Structure 1
Amino acid sequence: MSVLEIIASPSLSKKELQKEMKKQNDADLALTGKVIASKARNSNFVFSPASLKSFLTIEAASASSATEERKAVFNETATVAFADGKANGGPKITAINGVWVEQSLPVDHSYKNLLVNVFKATFTQVDFRSKAEQVRTELNKWVSDQTNGLIKDLLPHGSVDNKTDKVYGNALYFKGAWEDKFSKSKTKDRDFHLLNGTSVSVPFMSSGHDRQYVQRCGGFKVLVLPFRQGLDINRSFSMYFYLPDKKDGLDNLVKKMTSTPGFVDNHNPTCRVKLGDLAIPKFKISFGFEA
């Protein structure tokens, strides 16, 4: 989750853009709630609303139904929030969109211009009709290259054939350093409580800093861990942790998060407080679903 200072867009004032961004945040959480309810209830889950929204906005643009507000928010996200900050000492970010269209189909020049200049997308006309398997391999390489090899063979064999007209691709890669580092020597096994009432022993990272951004709310706590910002003053990135007070309180917390307008903005710790103990489990999650 990112917190960023909004820079005014030519088509919208700064105030209007901030309002639209907040509306989009609420829409993202609502969408997340629907995916959890239908595909990932009571399971480990990772989901990028920004990636799915990229496809939906580009598809709407192809039908000339995307509003100026939506285009402005998309452009702001692409050029400010997802701009690579590695050179300035900030997080390494790669956010790429791609559109591949069958070469025999007519393509309006204004649509291509919109994709390249507004949506910052790669646009290529390819031969799906006679070289579908070759194109599939090239698309998988594109995804692998954009994610530093973390995502390989995204499109399985048979997913692209001679009847394919168009493929959308989105790759979002983030790698940042913590503002307050975790010491490897402080990583110890602890009990992690599962939804079924049992627990497992997993490695927990502990911080040597006893003052953290924490807020106590009704029935849950919020912890914010900032990433190192570097020289970039227009934005900052943080990871948010939401922890229910009750061991079986996760479901109710998720429902509250995904149905309450302004939830993120209203639960954003701004002051450091002293903690007696801070431990965060190390985790790796893989998840997929048919959108």
Structure 2
Amino acid sequence: MKFIKALKIPMLIIGLLPLLLWPGPGCRAADIPEDTTAEFSVRLYHQLQARGGDDNIIFSPLSVAVALGMVELGARGASLTQIRQAVGFSHLPTDEEFSLLQNLTGALSEDDAHYIIRMANSLFLQSGVTFNPEFLRLMKKYFGAEVETVDFSESAAVAEQINGWVENHTESKIRDLLSADDFSSVTQLTLVNAVYFRGSWKNQFRPENTRTFSFSKDDGSEAQTHMMYQQGDFYYGEFSDGSSEAGGVYQVLEMPYEGEDMSMLVVLPRQEVPLAVLEPIIRAPLLEEWANNVKRQKVEVYLPRFKVEQKVDLKETLQDLGIKNIFTRDADLSAMTDGKDLFIGKAVQKAYLEVTEEGAEGAAGSGMIALTRTLVLSPQVMNVLSLSLPLCVL
């Protein structure tokens, strides 16, 4: 009998697959090339981890990819090339990635008796501005995007409208995604993506078994948390990273949701090893190896009951991944409108995740705001890309 007892707070949660990471070992809903998915997720994670220090990280590569896909539809030249290379689409025939994203989001959004997944996209356009009809047609075709016209100079009203749309599509889990300061008279377009997931564990925890534990953090401080407990049959394994140090062995547990099409993968370093020892070795092939080699066996599981919400500025992270031009005056988003006067000014992500005895619930809102550079008078005027859920570091 294996025994998992997370008395050290450092823990890596890879899931809600696919929403918290990306379709992978735990997702059987769509046939997606692995090198186009998990590798992008891991690269995003490492960049966020490098900038986030010791903070928790919660984000959704799936939502990032969808938001970037909507921008890519309007991009040309180097702006287009940089997005394709960063996300991992450069090896695909031109425009095939849009069908891939369409098939993926469509498969994930199909009704299922065991869990709820909702994905929605919307375009908010500046009234009086002419947008390329082909761009709007393709946004509808590949992303099912709704189209609304607004007056961005009425910034408070627009922020309230878009935030209301996001709340409606995330069961009110994502609130205040944008603010009035994100819009001005030079804002031309905002692309928004919303994702919501709720699933019940295949093997639920009994609330009466939940106890308060004292957690020892990496910095030596302690925190009280509710620890759920159960004993049952799970896919579990212990793996070595090949090092001779004490931290070379990691416990990997797969926790399926009802229906078993999706699961949460939990990776825990040995008790006296900080998470910082695990993070550098995380790579897509390693995650795939772990997920494919866990074995079904009796396991005692202690898992924290928690709720976390985070908003992260992703502009510099995406630039570090090579997506540079769309945030500068070199941006070429000419397929959105006639001319080449649009650019993206800011990228942010807001995500929510709650794990309980019954299951898990997650949501995220994503958006990109395009400005016209010919009218920009202040460098403080910015655009927004708000993204979603996946790799969650606790």
TM over 0.5: yes
Counterpart in the other structure of 1:46: 58
**One of 72, 87, 101 as aligned partner of 2:99:** 72
Match of 2:133 among 109, 112, 126: 109
CA contact (8 A) 2:229 2:302 kept: yes
The amino acid of 2:47's aligned partner reads: K
Name the SS for the 2:55 alignment partner.
coil
* Distance (Å, rounded) in 1 between the aligned partners of 2:41 and 2:147: 26
Q: Number of aligned residue pairs: give it.
A: 267
* Equivalent pair of 2:42/2:284 in contact (CA under 8 Å): no
Residue 12 of structure 1 is matched in structure 2 by: none
| Structure holding more strand per residue | 2
Query: What is the match of residue 152 of structure 1?
Result: 175
Per chain length, whose mean CA-contact separation is higher, i.e. which structure has more relative contact order (CA < 8 Å, sep 6+)? 2
- Kindly provide the CA deviation profile for residues 71-103 of structure 1, in whole angstroms up to 9, marking residues without a partner as x: 13311221112x153xx3121111122221212
Task: Spell out structure 1 runs of 4+ moving beyond 4 A.
Answer: none
Q: Does 1:220 align with 2:250?
A: yes
The answer to which structure has the higher helix fraction is 1
Answering whether residue 211 of structure 2 is matched by residue 198 of structure 1, we say no
After TM superposition, the structure 1 = structure 2 runs for residues 30-179 of structure 1, keeping only pairs within 5 Å, are 30-38=43-51, 40-64=52-76, 65=80, 67-81=94-108, 83-85=109-111, 88-129=112-153, 131-179=154-202
Q: What corresponds to 2:42 in structure 1?
A: 29
TM-score (norm 2): 0.64
Judge conservation of contact 1:182–1:205 (CA < 8 Å) in 2: yes
Deviation at 1:215, TM superposition (A): 1.3
| 1:197–1:69 Cα change, 3 Å | farther
Gaps of 5+ in 1: 8-16, 230-234
Q: Measure, in 2, the Cα distance between the counterparts of 1:264 and 1:69.
A: 26
Paired amino acid for 2:103: E
CA distance in 2: counterparts of 1:248 and 1:41, whole angstroms: 17
CA contact (8 A) 1:22 1:262 kept: no
The aligned counterpart of 1:242 is: 267
Task: After superposing the two structures, state which structure 1 stretch, 215-224 or 246-255, moved more.
Answer: 246-255
* Residues 139 and 145 in structure 2, CA contact (< 8 A), matched pair in contact too: yes
8 Å contact from structure 2 (residues 252, 290) kept in 1? yes
Q: Which amino acid aligns with 2:67?
A: F
Aligned counterparts of 1:188 and 1:165: Cα–Cα separation in 2: 52
Q: Deviations over 1:114-166 (max 9, x none)?
A: 1111122222232224x333222110100111111112222123222222111
Identity %: 21
Partner-residue secondary structure (3-state), 1:174? strand
Which letter maps to 1:227?
Y
1:188·1:203 contact (CA, 8 Å) conserved in 2?
Answer: yes
List gaps (5 residues or longer) in structure 2.
1-14, 18-25, 85-93, 241-248, 315-394
Displacement of 1:191: 2.5
SS at match of 1:285: strand
SS at match of 2:308: coil
Deviation at 1:239, TM superposition (A): 0.8
Q: Describe the SS at the equivalent of 1:179.
A: coil
Task: Give TM-score, length-normalised by structure 1.
Answer: 0.85
CA distance in 1, matches of 2:36, 2:277: 22
Residue identity in the other structure for 2:289: N
**What is the Cα deviation at residue 195 of structure 1?**
1.2
Any idea what the Cα deviations from partners look like across 1:212-251, whole Å, max 9, x if unmatched?
111111121111110002xxxxx81101111011433311
User: How has the CA–CA distance of structure 1 residues 134 and 18 changed in structure 2, closer, same or farther, with 3 Å as cutoff?
Assistant: closer
Structure 1 vs Structure 2 CA RMSD? 2.0
Is 2:203 aligned against 1:180?
Answer: yes
Pairwise CA distance, 1:6:
5.6
- TM-superposed CA distance for 1:70, in Å, is 1.9
Distance 1:256 1:182, change over 3 A: same
Q: Where does residue 10 of structure 1 map in the other structure?
A: none
The secondary structure found in structure 1 opposite 2:310 is: coil
